[in-house]
Structure formats: C-alpha cells, structure tokens
C-alpha cells in the first residue's frame, strides 16, 4: 500500500478530492493550509508532485473525520533498517486506546523523513493517549539489543509533529 500527500489551498484540494471521488482521499487542514492524503495500492499517484510513502505498518481504516497527528522522523540511509526494526517491535497499545481510529507507518520514497500517522476521533482522544501510562511504556527507552545501538547516528535531524483536522461537511 502507498500514501501520497500534497498541499494547496482548501478550495483546490477539495476540487481535486471531488474529481477523484472513487479514490481513498482524505482532505485535512491546519493553520498552514489544506492537505490531501491519497491511500492506494497503486505505485503511481494522481497528484503531480506528491510526497511519496510506502506503508510498512497499518492498523484501522482512515476516516473522513477526526484529528490527524503526523510524527515526522528524519532518518539517515544507514539508519533505515535499524529504525524499521525497532518500529516493527512496537507494543501496539495504541490500537486499544479510546478514540483511536487508525495508524500508518510510512517509509519515505522521495525523502529521508518517515511519518508515523495516527488518526483520532478528536484532539482530546490524542491528548489522553499522550498522557497515558501505555504511551509512556510505548515510548520508553528499551535496553539495547546486542549490536542494535552500534549505529551512532540514525536520525539525520530532529523529529517534528504536524497536526490536522479532517473537516466535516458541516464545517
């Protein structure tokens, strides 16, 4: 599965979403503008110049409502296998959290930045997850496995978070 992401004005993104109504496209917005997320099994995007990702872990179905959090994590080329190995061993506690809708772990195809995308019923559900003991357990530093932490720099720069609201038709 692949995800393609593009940005623009709300009206243009809405028109593009409507033009491709048969596709799984989520319209999201934040203070910077509008973003379209296209989830598909095709390797080719309908967008002209999208950010491209391969989905390497998934749970739940993306919805046309809610609050989306993208944890953007720049990883060096050498660090990719280590990062993915660590992520494949995640606790999966998030899936049982009230208000959770979906998660996608996205491997970048045209950049160095992985995206951990989670979708929630609302901002409060995400905040409750962040404040939970399950979150703290999922994000605690684990005892290093032999050889895993021998790679000195797997992150190419600091991670950052972007958030979006999926507007309802009534907004």
Residue stretches of the chain with pLDDT short of 70: 91, 139-152, 169-171
pLDDT score of 152 = 57
pLDDT score of 142 = 52
pLDDT score of 141 = 55
pLDDT score of 171 = 47
Q: Which helix (H) or strand (E) holds 55?
A: strand 51-60
CATH class of the domain at 2-139+152-166: alpha beta
In sign, the C-alpha dihedral spanning 134, 140, 144, 149 is positive
Which candidate, 155, 159, 151, places its Cα nearest to that of 75? 155
pLDDT score of 126 = 93
pLDDT score of 140 = 65
């Amino acid at each position: 599965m692949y995800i393609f992401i593009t940005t623009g004005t709300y009206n243009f993104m809405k028109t593009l979403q409507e033009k491709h109504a048969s596709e799984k496209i989520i319209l999201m917005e934040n203070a910077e503008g509008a973003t379209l997320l296209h989830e598909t099994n095709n390797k080719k995007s309908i967008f002209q110049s999208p950010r491209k990702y391969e989905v390497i872990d998934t749970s739940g179905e993306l919805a046309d409502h809610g609050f989306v959090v993208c944890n953007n994590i720049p990883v060096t080329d050498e660090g990719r296998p280590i990062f993915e190995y660590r992520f494949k061993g995640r606790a999966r506690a998030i899936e049982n959290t009230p208000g959770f809708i979906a998660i996608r772990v996205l491997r970048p195809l045209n950049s160095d930045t992985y995206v951990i995308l989670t979708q929630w019923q609302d901002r409060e559900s995400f905040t409750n997850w962040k404040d939970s003991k399950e979150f703290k357990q999922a994000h605690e530093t684990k005892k290093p496995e032999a050889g895993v932490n021998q790679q000195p720099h797997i992150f190419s720069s600091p991670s950052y978070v972007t958030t979006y609201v999926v507007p309802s038709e009534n907004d």
